[in-house]
Amino acid sequence: MIIGHCPQDTAVAPDNLEDFAVDWSPDAIAIRDDLGVADDWPYRYAQLSGGQQKRLQIACAMAMRPDALILDEPTNHVDAAAREHIIAAIRRYRGIGVVVSHDVKLIDATCMRCVMFERRHVSSRNMTVVTTLRGGYSEASQQVALRDGADTARADALQREADRLAAVKAQRFAKVQQVESNKQHGERIDRRDHDARNRRQLAKMTGLDRGVTRAYSQLDGRLAAVKRQTEEMSSPAKRYEGTIWMDIKPAHCREIVRLEPGLIRFGETDEDDEPMPPLCHAIQSGNRIRLSPSENGDTATGLMIPAISIGPRDHVAVTGPNGAGKSSLVAAMLAHAVDVPRLTIAQNTTDEDRNDAMNRLFALPAETRAQVLSAYARLDANPDRLLASGRPSPGELRKLLLCLALPAGPQLIVLDEPTNHLDLTSKKALARLLTEYPGALIVVSHDEWFLELAGFGR
């Protein structure tokens, strides 16, 4: 069996890159067309953007004509147009396909089944449970929601039954005590009270006193059975809710960022040289700044922008295709931002970033470190695992970098592709918390699903 694999990391060129460069078979041409791979890409892999490298990685994996194709996060670092190319290529593939992804649109468009790794509460502890569900993510998540609702209802019913049995047991215990008291001290009955005398005789003949004791003992077994069912149940693991923003307040100014209309130059163009078209363009509408590429797709020399104003409480999303100038725009924003506490998390992190973050964490006073780890847990992360390993994954590192900045009270946060390497549950947690952030927020992202969750609309 031939297995084609596209790794998550784009740093290492595919093993069969040279073979693909000279492969002009009909299948290879179709793959190039589907993925939008230019003829010269295989010869300059190191100079390509992250999205271009990813498409070339996928093309090389598919060109092997594999029986099984495994794609690990194939849409990381790619824009909307590149995602459509990747979806088209996956749909064309006719073998066994496995996609490891947190991209809802990709999963819905290409997958017939989902294998979900879920945190579930089983036998008084949280554990990872693997569940297979039909359909893409949207359909599978609906099934999970229905199941979780049923599990919660059953857990509530079992708790009500346990409370009811405990109340009945208390009543039976009082009766048992009364029976024992009567045995110990006797019950004074008026000799003329024939009804009471008959009840006592009937109890002796039928063993009703013993029945009270026996019924009380049986309740223990029923209570134990209910508790056992409760412990054996699988239910959604507890999520840490609440805000992470501590006492952060918005800056006391009218504008955090102000850019006048004009041109942002790309590269090292001389200020005295007026760059000629083609140019990219930016439009601000509501809480979105949308960038469009140059006409005809030619390499742009700069970005034309309108007046851009970001207030101390504004949340703004910057969107647009790769190469349209998002990084240049954010750099200009930061250069013209007022002097307030700020946090910037880049799209890519390094081992040095990871080591520095862990050193900063361990250097914090105990109380502050506890606050940081509490915020970290609210981002659907595991503080115990972080402390035990000391080596956060790329997604965990991004969460940690955010939380480490909180004690300084940042009034401006800039996040570049914050959902790269985050699972879907973490994306939801981050989106929810970002909507509550009281300061100025700039998010650069291709992830429309996340942006809508975070309140940026369309």
Are 88 and 148 in the same domain? no
Are 105 and 189 in the same domain? no
Contact 139, 254 (CB under 8 A): no
Are 293 and 442 in the same domain? yes
Are 297 and 407 in the same domain? yes
User: Over 90: is that where the pLDDT of 164 sits?
Assistant: no
Closest by alpha carbon to 342, among 319, 365, 379, 310? 310
Domain count, the chain: 3
Contact 364, 405 (CB under 8 A): no
Please provide the size of the chain in residues.
458
Are 179 and 224 in the same domain? yes
Does residue 125 fall inside a structural domain?
A: no
Task: Give the structural domain span for 309.
Answer: 257-453
Helix (H, G, I), strand (E, B) or coil at 151: helix
**Helices 26-35 and 80-92, axial angle in degrees (round to 10):** 150
The mean per-residue pLDDT over the stretch 219-231 comes to: 77
Of the residues 202, 236, 270, which one is the last residue of a structural domain? Answer: 236
Q: What is the DSSP string of 320-334?
A: --TTSSHHHHHHHHH
Q: pLDDT-derived band of residue 442, with 50, 70 and 90 as boundaries?
A: very high
Does residue 33 fall inside a structural domain?
A: yes
Strand partners, 127: 120
Write down the pLDDT at residue 282.
Answer: 94
Are 413 and 268 in the same domain? yes
pTM: 0.74
Write down the pLDDT at residue 64.
Answer: 94
Name 359's Cβ contacts closer than 8 Å, sequence gap at least 6.
Answer: none
Q: Token pair for residue 18?
A: 């040279």
Write down the pLDDT at residue 207.
Answer: 46
Does residue 150 fall inside a structural domain?
A: yes
The mean per-residue pLDDT over the stretch 431-450 comes to: 93
Are 229 and 301 in the same domain? no
Are 367 and 408 in the same domain? yes
Are 71 and 102 in the same domain? yes
Are 202 and 313 in the same domain? no
Give φ, ψ of 455 to 5 degrees. 90, 20
Q: What is the CATH number of the domain that holds 83?
A: 3.40.50.300
Tens-digit pLDDT profile for residues 136-162: 999 998 998 888 888 878 878 888 888
Name 418's Cβ contacts closer than 8 Å, sequence gap at least 6.
Answer: 345, 398, 430, 443, 445, 450
The overall average pLDDT reported for the chain is 85
Does residue 48 fall inside a structural domain?
A: yes
**Helices 208-232 and 137-185, axial angle in degrees (round to 10):** 160
